[in-house]
C-alpha cells in the first residue's frame, strides 16, 4: 500500500493518484464506463468533503465508497440484474482497462479479455488486491468474506487468469 499523500495536496493530485485505481475497481461493479465514472465522481467527492480527515487508508475508504455508490446506482436504475447477468465474453464497452506502451498492446488486450472470462467473484478480489492495493483483511471486510477466502480466491484468480491466457495463446 502506498503511503498516504500529504494533507496539503490538492484534490487533483489526490485524484491523479487514486482516480485510475478507483475507476478500475468501479468497472468491476458497474455496467459501463460511464456508470463507473459516475460512481467514482460520487465517491471521490464524498471522500474529499467528508472523509479526508479520517484516520485509515484512503484507498480502503474510497473503495468502500465506490462500491456502495455502484450498488446504489444499480438499485436506483434497476440495473442489478443486468449487471449480474452481463456477458463476460468481452471487455464491457471496448474501453481499455489499462494503459500500456504501444508495443505491449496485444498483451494488454489478451489480459483484459482473460479477465472478463474468469469468475466475477475471483476477478473482484484480484482487482482489489493488485490494482486497488488492498490487503486481504481489507478485501475481506469490503466483500464480507473471511481473509482466508479472500486469499484463496486471489490465488484461484491468478491461476485461472494465467490458464485463460495460455489457452488463448494456444488457440492463436
Residues lying near another protein in the complex (CB under 8 A) are found at 11-12, 15-16, 19-21, 23-24, 37, 40-41, 44-46, 48-51, 54-56, 61, 65, 68, 95-100, 108, 111, 126, 130-131, 155, 158-159, 161-162
The count of C-alpha atoms lying within 13 angstroms of the C-alpha of 47, restricted to the half-sphere facing its C-beta, is: 27
For residue 30, the minimal CB distance to another protein (Å) is: 13
Closer to another protein at the Cβ: 85 or 166? 166
Closer to another protein at the Cβ: 46 or 88? 46
Residues whose CB falls within 8 Å of the CB of residue 98, separated by 6 or more in sequence, listed in order = 24, 108, 111, 112
Closer to another protein at the Cβ: 8 or 85? 8
Dig out the grid coordinates for 76 from the structure: 436506483
SS3 at position 114: helix
For residue 55, the minimal CB distance to another protein (Å) is: 5
**CA-CA distance, 109 to 79, in Å (whole number)?**
27
Amino acid at each position: 500500500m502506498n503511503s498516504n499523500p500529504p494533507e496539503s495536496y490538492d484534490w487533483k493530485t489526490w485524484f491523479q493518484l487514486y482516480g485510475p485505481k478507483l475507476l478500475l475497481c468501479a468497472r468491476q461493479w458497474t455496467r459501463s464506463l460511464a456508470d463507473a465514472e459516475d460512481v467514482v465522481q460520487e465517491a471521490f467527492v464524498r471522500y474529499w468533503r467528508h472523509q479526508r480527515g479520517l484516520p485509515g487508508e484512503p484507498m480502503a475508504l474510497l473503495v468502500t465508497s465506490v462500491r456502495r455508490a455502484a450498488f446504489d446506482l444499480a438499485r436506483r436504475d434497476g440495473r442489478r440484474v443486468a449487471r449480474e447477468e452481463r456477458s463476460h465474453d468481452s471487455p464491457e464497452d471496448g474501453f481499455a482497462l489499462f494503459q500500456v506502451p504501444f508495443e505491449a498492446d496485444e498483451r494488454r488486450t489478451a489480459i483484459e479479455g482473460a479477465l472478463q472470462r474468469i469468475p466475477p467473484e475471483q476477478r473482484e478480489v484480484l482487482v482489489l488486491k493488485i490494482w486497488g492495493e488492498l490487503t486481504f483483511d481489507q478485501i475481506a471486510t469490503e466483500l464480507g468474506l473471511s481473509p482466508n477466502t479472500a486469499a484463496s480466491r486471489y490465488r484461484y484468480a491468478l491461476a485461472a487468469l494465467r490458464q485463460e491466457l495460455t489457452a488463448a495463446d494456444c488457440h492463436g
